[in-house]
Every structure is written in C-alpha cells, then in structure tokens.
Amino acid sequence: MKVRIICDNRAMEGYQADWGFACLVEAEENVLFDTGAKPSVLQHNMAASNVDPGTVDYIVLSHDHEDHTGGLPYMSSSNTKAEVIVLPSFGRLVRQQAAPLAVREITAAGEISPGIHSTGPVQGPMPEQAIALNTDQGVVIITGCAHPGVDVLMEAVSDLGAVHAVLGGFHGFSNFSALEGIPFLAPCHCTQHTQEIADRFPESYVEIMAGTELEF
C-alpha cells in the first residue's frame, strides 16, 4: 500500500503547509483520510502529488474539527463517486459540505475497503476514528489527532494483528511505553511531544510532512 501525506503543518518544497492533516491511502481502492483545513491547500497539494480527486473512493473523516474537515468542499465539487464516512457526533455543516456525495455514519469498528479498517467511534475528549491498514509488514495505524490517546486507538484495532507503524497526529500523548517495540513511528500535525518521541525511539522515528510518500 502507498500512503501519501497530502496536508500537514509542515511541507516539502512545492507543497503548502497549513495547520491540518490529510493523507491518501492507495490500495485496492483509494481512501482519503481527513481533508486538511482549507479547500485551496488540499487542491494545491493533491495537484502537487499528481492525485486526481476523482479517483478517491472513500473520504474518512477522523473527527469533527475544521482542520480535518475544512477541505471537504473541494472533494465534493471534484468527485462524483466517493462515500464520506463520518461518526454520529459530526454536525450538520460537514454533512452539508459533503453534498452531493453520499454520507455514511459508522458506529462500530469494521472494514471500510479491502485491507482498510476503521476503529469506529473511540471515546475521548470528543469521539474520533482512526484507520488501520493490513500490510505485509503488519498493521499500520493512521490517526487524525488521537484525542482519545494513541494507545486507546491502537487497542481498538488490536484484533487485526501486530502493529508495524503509527503515523499522524499524536496530540499530547505521552504514554511512551505504549510505543515500545513499534518499528515505525511518524508523528506529525498536532503532536506536542515529537522531539521526545524522536529521542526515545531513534531507530523507529520517521519525519513526515506534506509531500511525503510511504510504502507499506
């Protein structure tokens, strides 16, 4: 599977940096996880990655914060087939911005697309979902902000197998012992303890930003 970081607070040359997160998972089907904060940034960075928005099959939104949902109007005006996957906690605005695309609420963990799973709503400061990818190397977990805690999101998909990688926003997560033994750690976006993670896990830490492409 290929994972492209589309939106992040930091960016490679040719990409726009902005407070928000979005990544594209290219597998049997294409899944856009979150949409960043601004339609213009999502549009620019998808073009920089040579990604046609019309090829996205699913748009999974981690939680109802604008820095993860704000780019949705670009997708709903550029794609005619994608299904937007939200949690019951999402408000009216996101549903309006998704139109005319179909919106589906999920209430439990399950497979979204072959090899790509949602944690379903995980409770925390606000309900949030992460996605988990079945890869040849193990389970790859992608988080939006991880408000409930990275460890809690990992536990939600623990039945899928051993975790190979965790990437995305870690917010204020500091239970570093939960990350022991994970070969690939790539915190970005809202992570408050990036340097501590890099220092504690120098062999696992990977720097990512908008424009990064990963293969699993």
| Per-residue pLDDT, 109 | 96
Residue 78 pLDDT grade (very low, low, confident, very high; cuts 50, 70, 90): very high
CA-to-CA separations, 181 to 113, 153, 202, in angstroms, rounded:
28, 17, 12
Please give the structure tokens belonging to residue 130: 């992460």
Which tens digit of pLDDT belongs to each residue from 30-75? Answer: 999 999 999 999 999 999 999 999 999 999 999 999 999 999 999 9
Q: What is the largest CA-CA distance in the chain?
A: 46
pTM for the full model? 0.97
Residue 161 pLDDT grade (very low, low, confident, very high; cuts 50, 70, 90): very high
Q: Which CATH superfamily is domain 2-215 in?
A: Ribonuclease Z/Hydroxyacylglutathione hydrolase-like (3.60.15.10)
| Per-residue pLDDT, 187 | 98
Q: What is the mean pLDDT of residues 206-210?
A: 98
CB 141 within 8 A of CB 160: no
- Exposure string of 43-77, with b = 16+ CB inside 10 Å and e = fewer, is bbbbebbebebeebbbbbbbbbbbbbbbbbbbbbe
Of 212, 173, 214, 166, nearest in space to 191 by CA: 173
Residue 177 CB contacts under 8 Å (≥ 6 apart), including other chains: none
Strands across the sheet containing 184-188: 110-113, 116-118, 131-135, 138-143, 163-169, 184-188
Of 139, 199, 79, 138, nearest in space to 130 by CA: 139
